Amino acid sequence: MSHVLHIDVSPMGDHSVSRQVANAYVEAFTASHKDVAVVTRDLAADPVPHLDGETIMAGYIPAEQRTPSQVAKFTYRMELVEEVKSSQEIVISTPMWNWQVPSVLKAWIDQIIIPGVLDASSEAATVNARVTVVVAQGGSYKEGAPRHGWDYLTGYMKQVFGSMGVKDVEVILAEFTLAGVAPGMETFVDNKKASIDAAIETAKARASK
């Protein structure tokens, strides 16, 4: 069945900016697409395991040679893949941590990308969903910022879904979220509010399309 796959990553609960923006997206989407189910995956509350040697090896050998443990781990992996492949819409909310995605999101990505199973090399392995990635970050890496060029997240997430054949991937940024929280960021409080408001408006407009 086709559904919206909503993945959250931040462990910050109600304080999370990325969750707030993604919730606005999902609310707007379900308001304008009333018959679509939402499948939620909270990677902070319920992380997927990192790939281990047994799981990797299971992908290299014929199915009938797998041990019961390998069968269980590979079946779980395929369930994650199927959740992605049967989505019409995927929305991921994530913090930027140390210029990249948190490791719980990386673990999910490593579980789902399997050459020949989820990649753009064959039509059967291609993902047809529209993908939206909401990112909250403490500062800004746009042109003119002192750390311009340090954002290794935006391009990476586009690469991840591009590799699966997704044509429409948009990254929505909420910047300066540490203003008013971390010492030294006080002067960016207005930028923070403007950026979060703009991210919510962008999310709602995209979801309603």
Ligand X SMILES: Cc1cc2nc3c(=O)[nH]c(=O)nc-3n(C[C@H](O)[C@H](O)[C@H](O)COP(=O)(O)O)c2cc1C
Q: Please report, as ranges, the residues that interact with ligand X according to CB under 6 A.
A: 10, 12, 16-19, 95-99, 136-139, 177-178
Is the separation of the CB atoms in 208 and 28 below 8 Å?
Answer: yes
**Least distance (Å) from ligand X to the CB of residue 156?**
13
Minimum CB distance to ligand X smaller for 28 or for 136: 136
Minimum CB distance to ligand X smaller for 57 or for 178: 178
**Least distance (Å) from ligand X to the CB of residue 97?**
4
Query: What distance in Å separates the CA atoms of residue 2 and residue 150, rounded to the nearest whole number?
Result: 36
Query: What distance in Å separates the CA atoms of residue 13 and residue 52, rounded to the nearest whole number?
Result: 29
Contacts of residue 29, defined as CB under 8 A and 6 or more positions apart, other chains included, come to: 4, 36, 89, 91, 207, 208
**Least distance (Å) from ligand X to the CB of residue 145?**
10
With 0-12 CB in 10 A as exposed, 13-18 as middle and 19+ as buried, what is 200? Answer: buried
**Least distance (Å) from ligand X to the CB of residue 8?**
9
**Least distance (Å) from ligand X to the CB of residue 13?**
9
> Measuring CA to CA, how many Å separate 116 from each of 121, 123, 151?
7, 10, 29
Alpha helix stretches (DSSP H) within the chain? 17-32, 53-58, 68-85, 103-112, 154-162, 189-208
